[in-house]
Amino acid sequence: MKLSIYGAGRVGATTAFAILEKRLFDEIVLVDINKSLAEGEAMDLLHSTPFLKRTIIRSGNAEDITGSDVIIITAGASQKEGETRLQLLDRNVGIIQKIADEIKQYSPQSIVINVTNPVDVLTYVLWKRLETDSAKVLGTGTILDTARLRSLIGINCQVSPVSVHAYVIGEHGDSEVVAWSAATIGGVKIKEFCNCCDRKNCLGLEKIEEEVRNAAYEIIKRKGATNYAIAQATANFVESILKDEQRVWTPSVLYEDIYIGYPAIVGRQGVQRIIPLQLSREEEQKFIHSCEIIRNTLRQLKA
């Protein structure tokens, strides 16, 4: 099995290490415009393989991605403090188009996972440029947001996040929506669970939603970038795909005419099907608004 990663920066290198720990691939190729950086990261990662799995890890150029089973894209400008993900678009769209052309030339059969922000818009650009089956082109969407939500619910409700089933949908950005009406803890609707809870220091659902939405801003303010959680999210997503787990994730998938974060069953062939959520009227309106933000951004991009 072969993996290629575009981008050897903080997110790309951390993702490579997280995936390496899962012992999934026989070969990993790092491609970066900064060839020295890619070489250094490949060397460092290679030296960890005696503790993990015998893996060929090397830096390379576009032609070296040939035969990749999975390609992950983390290349692009990083989000700056105070900058929204959509404001990254102008700086990153050209990078994504160039990468798409290289994938189309050298490894058109790969499953392609985009991490670069704004992830929904750029995954759409990637899919259109590749001219391939949308099932095999995915973004990380709201997978990380969903993980943040479940972790905060777990802490707040003193329950394992594994027992929490709740989703963040929509744009991976400021208009994202928490689907509270579909959220459960141990099979119990979360609002019913809260009604039976007597905790005095409960944050409340609105505060949890606010913290999830602002998480990236707060992390960037303190350390300059997010990398560990998105790397783990991507690594687990890739593992689930390769093992054909048919697991429900919230990746950025083709929904009507746009790419957006929404629950979908994902397996070895990519997206199997989208799972319809029963949303409240307010949540439905928020989701429609989130879709329109992405549509408007795509219209501006096309113009």
Which residues line the annotated binding site for substrate?
A: 79, 85, 117-120, 145-148, 226
- Choosing from 172, 227, 234, 291, the catalytic residue is 172
H helix or E strand, kind and range, residue 259 = strand 258-261
Residue 23's nearest CA partner among 4, 51, 65, 64 is 51
User: Tokens 């959680």, residue?
Assistant: 229
User: Does residue 135 contact residue 160 with C-beta atoms inside 8 Å?
Assistant: no
Cα dihedral across residues 236, 241, 245, 247: positive or negative: positive
Q: Distance between CA 247 and CA 243 in Å, rounded?
A: 10
Contact status, residue 6 vs residue 99, Cβ threshold 8 Å: yes
State yes or no: is 289 an active-site residue. Answer: no
| Residue 63 burial (10 A CB sphere; 0-12, 13-18, 19+) | exposed
Measured CA to CA, the distance from residue 91 to residue 85 in angstroms comes to: 11
Binding-site entries for beta-D-fructose 1,6-bisphosphate: 150, 165
Three-state secondary structure call for residue 216: helix
Please report, as a single letter, which amino acid is at residue 90.
D
Q: Which residues pair with 267 in a beta bridge?
A: 270
Q: Among all residues, which ones are annotated catalytic?
A: 172
